[in-house]
Amino acid sequence: MNSLPSSTPRWDIFCAVVDNFGDIGVCWRLARQLAVEHGVAVRLWIDDFDSACRLLPTARPGTEVQRVDQVEIRHWTTPLPDVQPGDVVIAAFACDLPVQFLEAMARCTPRPVWINLEYLSAEDWVAGCHRLPSPHPRLPLRQYFFFPGLDRTTGGLLREADYADRRARFVAADFWRALDLPPPAPDELRVSLFCYENPALGELLDLWRQGSAPVTCLVPEGRVLPGVARAFGLSDLRSGDRLVRDALRVQVLPFVAQPCYDELLWACHLNFVRGEDSFVRAQWAEHPFVWHIYPQQDEAHLEKLEAFLARYRVGLDPLAARQLTDFWQAWNRGQGVAQAWPAFREALPALARHGKAWSASLMEAGDLARNLVQFCKDEI
C-alpha cells in the first residue's frame, strides 16, 4: 500500500458484526466519510468478513488486508497482527478491543484517543453521558463515550457532505425505469420494506392486497424475505422475483449497496426501516417511514421507541401524531397492524410535510463524522 505523510491522522475502527449488516453499515459509512472528507487514514477491523463483503461489493473475500474507497480494511482475527495503534481508536458499539492492542495503546506516546461509539438513542440520559471519560481498570488509558443523537447535546448523525447534491440530481423516473417499473399511478403507494422478522407482516401484506388503491412493495434481500414468501404461500423468494396479488405488487431487489439505498428511500412514498443505519437514512430522506427497532429482552426497546417518537411528534398535528404512534407501536409489537394501518395511511401527507422540517432540525446538531474529528483534535 502507498505510504502516507506522517502528518496524516491515523484512525482504527473496530467493528464486531452482530446484526447482519447494521453494525458494519454504520462503521463502513463512518470510515468512508472520515477518509474521503477529512483526510483520515482509516484502518477498519471487521470480524465477520463474509457479511461485510456483501455490503462492500468491491471487497475481495479471503483477503486479510485490502483497500476499498480509500479505507484500509483488515480482517479482525485472533490473535490480532502486531500493529501500531492509530492516533484515534474507535470501539464501535461497545465491542471489546483485543487485549494485546490495548496494551500497545498504553505503550504509545502520546496515547491514542479511545472512543466508545455508542448506539443511537433519543433517551434523555444520553446527553449527560455524551463525551464522558471512563478510565481503564488496569492500563493508563481512558475511553470516551460518544453518542450519535438528534440535537446539539450529542454527536449528531452521519450525513455525507455531498448528500444534498446527490438528492438534487436524483431523477425518480430513471430509478423506476432501471427497475423496469412505470412511474407510480396517481393513487398508488410505493413502499420499501427493510425490517426484521415480524409476525404482523402477513397481515399487512394482506391488507395491501385487499385495498382499494394499488401498492407496490420493493423488498431488498434480507431477513424479511422468508416472511414475505410465506405470506404468498411460497417456499422462498429470490432477487428479481415479482408477485402480483389483487392490488398488491411485490418486487424483490438484490442486496442494495449504501448509495443505491438512499435512492430507494428517495423514490418511495413510505419506507420501512430497521436498526440504526437505515433508520438514519430514512430521516434524511424526508419521507414518511416506519422504524422497526432491534428487539430487546423485557421489551426494553419499546422505551427507546417511545423516546424517539416523543421527539419526532413535536410539531405534528395531534391526530397525525396519534396515527403515527399507533401504527409504529403495532408494528413493533407485532399485533394490531390491521386496526392501525388505515389511519396511518391517512396520515402520510402530514408525515411527508413533517419529514422536511424534521430533517432540517437534525442538521443543527452537525454531522457525526465532523463532530468526532473535532472532538479528537481537541483531545490530541
Cα–Cα distance, 68 to 77 (Å, whole number): 19
Among candidate residues 12, 19, 23, 286, the one labeled active-site is 23
Establish whether 82 is a catalytic residue. Answer: no
CA 371, 57, 239: angle at the middle one, nearest 5?
115
Cα–Cα dist 341/238, whole Å: 27
Q: Which of 47, 160, 262, 276 is catalytic?
A: 276
Q: Cα separation of 163 and 264, whole Å? A: 14
Bridge partner list, 183: none
- In the block, residue with C-alpha cell 446484526: 19
C-alpha dist (Å) from residue 45 to 10, 23, 197: 13, 12, 29
Annotated catalytic residue 23: yes
What per-residue string of b and e applies to 332-370 under the rule 16 or more CB within 10 Å gives b? Answer: beeeebeebbeebbebbebbebbbeebeebbeebbbbbb
Within 10 angstroms of residue 12's Cβ, the number of other Cβ atoms is: 25
State how far the Cα of 57 lies from the Cα of 203, in Å rounded to an integer: 34
Q: Which residues are catalytic?
A: 23, 276
